[in-house]
Amino acid sequence: EVVMTQSPATLSVSPGERATLSCRASQSVSSNLAWYQQKPGQAPRLLIYGASTRATGIPARFNGIGSGTEFTLTIISLQSEDFAVYHCQQYNAWPRTFGQGTKVEIK
């Protein structure tokens, strides 16, 4: 199975600053990667698919790049509603697998 590793586990950022989250796959997943945002007590919300395509209604401050084994989610100018846990997920192979998540907290 493809192991997804996210770093850092926790990222402390001030509102208005940029957050950079990393996701690494144990083998190439091409561009078959999605990012989800999850707030406490809620279900995850789709942000990005195809490594870089924003889902409907997702603000332009969320940007995804990468292919193969290295992926990055950048949140430009963090807003208060962006403090949450972010999960990456590969869909290149079965079983689908998620990273362990990166928590973005207020600095």
Does residue 24 touch another protein according to CB under 8 A?
no
Question: Using only C-alpha atoms, what is the Rg of the chain?
Answer: 13
In this chain, which stretch among 17-25, 60-68, 71-79, 85-93 interacts with another protein, using CB under 8 A? 85-93
The interface with another protein within residues 55-74 (CB under 8 A) comprises 55
Does residue 94 touch another protein according to CB under 8 A?
yes
CA distances to 42, 56, 59 from 22, in Å = 23, 22, 19
Binder of another protein out of 50, 58, 61, 76 (CB under 8 A): 50
Query: With contacts defined by CB under 8 A, how many residues of the chain interact with another protein?
Result: 26
Does residue 99 touch another protein according to CB under 8 A?
yes
In sequence order, what are the residues at sequence separation of 6 or more whose Cβ sits closer than 8 angstroms to the Cβ of residue 24? 4, 5, 6, 7, 69, 70, 71
Residue 48 buriedness (CB in 10 A; 0-12 / 13-18 / 19+): buried
- The token pair at 14 is 């001030």
Binder of another protein out of 19, 73, 101, 104 (CB under 8 A): 101
Binding site residues, another protein, CB under 8 A: 1, 30-32, 34, 36, 42-46, 49-50, 53, 55, 87, 89, 91, 94-101
